Amino acid sequence: MPTAHAAARAVFVVFAASGFAFASWASRLPAVRDGLSFSEQEMGLLLLTGSIGSVAAIPLSGLVAERFGTARTVLAFAGVLVAGLVVAGYGVAQGEHLAVRLGLVLFGVGAGVWDAAMNLEGAAVEQHLGRAVMPIFHAGFSFGTVVGAGIGALVATLGVPVVWHLVVAAAVALLSVVIAVRYFTPGVVAAALPDGADTAGANSADGADPGEVTPPPSGIAGLFAAWREPRTLAIGLVVLAAALTEGVANDWVGLAVVDGFGTSDGMGAVGLAVFLTAMTTARLAGTRAIDRFGRVPVLVLSAGLAFVGVLTFSLVPVLWLALVGVGLWGLGAAMGFPMGMSAASDEPRRAAMRVAAVSTIAYTAFFVGPPLIGFVAHTTGYRLAVLVLLVPMALGLIVARSVRPLPTAAGVKR
């Protein structure tokens, strides 16, 4: 049976493979835009297509993971994602926007359910290890995006066709997942607390009688129960703000650098790489920060850095200083998503449905963000358009206290 440490390494690899696949696509968006001859608005609507797939699939991710387990769920939907990546690349090569849209729907379905399932596995490993390690797993995602963006910048500079780049990237991502899921912890989504967990405390945290151990609802009943919990909905808002802050950068920083400063596609990919490198660095340092200061102070600091970074990137006229802003933006965007997923998983017996609910709320960011930025950018340009992020950042701060750990959380400072 795989050990918790082996499972932790496997989860890191799966997060990295997901990030690599995503950044392989995102780093080629300027070439996709040129290949399809799309305007800002058309690019926004194109990116919305993938979000439709994610938003449609994620509400059912808890049911799928509960039924089949995290390993099989991750493997199956990684296959869906890479199939979409290949179809989208083919569509770009042929100038067929309908093929690109079909590929992005598949990509979105695969990415959404893969994301929810790997976060559930990560939360289970976090519980078994007894410490807050979710930021390290999300650093794995960011590490994958850095590698993907770096390779994207290289192949864009060399003029490698999008379709061949994406076919190779898809193969690498899928092979990594096939190997890694063999080391996942069996029976993660079994609606049972780890040995020695405080079941009474868990029920008390949810408002039940502290002396009574109540089995959590499962299936459809469990899904609807999660959607009725104020704490879960508030965590969803925190993660929504974090997803917008991260997702807008992933989708638009490259184009904003290219169009805003009249520079090359390669420099646009460099801008994305700066963001992703900063995010990876913050996530690698995140576990110690949470252990020392607690989730809420780290979340507040992160939002402040992102606020300053977005303002700097949007308003300064010099490229190198704008890239400093991108770096601050990346540092600030790093921690909201992993802390929200940890908070949703604090009580392992209810984790599957709560993560599904939080992920559904979060992924509306990818549904709303691309067309919103695209339409605003049509009037203001890409750099000024990202200022709309300041609104969800403020809303996330209002409910920041919702991420405070429950008694059943892995050992983190409260």
DSSP of 95-143: T-HHHHHHHHHHHHHHHHHHHHHHHHHHHHHHHHHTS--HHHHHHHHHH
Confidence of residue 412 (pLDDT cuts 50, 70, 90): low
The H or E element containing residue 92 is helix 70-94
In the structure encoding, which two tokens stand for residue 288, read together? 């110690």
User: For 106-145, how does the pLDDT look when each residue is reduced to its tens digit (9 = 90+)?
Assistant: 999 999 899 989 988 988 888 788 777 888 998 898 889 8
The tens digit of pLDDT for each residue in 148-179 reads 988 998 998 888 999 999 999 999 999 999 99
C-alpha–C-alpha distance, residues 180 and 84, integer Å: 21
Q: Is the pLDDT of residue 192 over 50?
A: no
Task: Check pLDDT > 90 for residue 226.
Answer: no
The values of phi and psi at residue 196, to 5°, are 85, 0
Indicate the residue type of 130: G
Sort residue 218 into left (φ over 0), alpha (ψ -120 to 50) or beta. Answer: beta
Max mean pLDDT among 69-78, 277-286, 369-378 falls in: 69-78
Q: Are 229 and 354 in contact (CB under 8 A)?
A: yes
Q: Of 364, 298, 359, give the one whose Cα is nearest residue 333.
A: 298
Q: Are the C-beta atoms of residues 370 and 155 closer than 8 Å to each other?
A: no
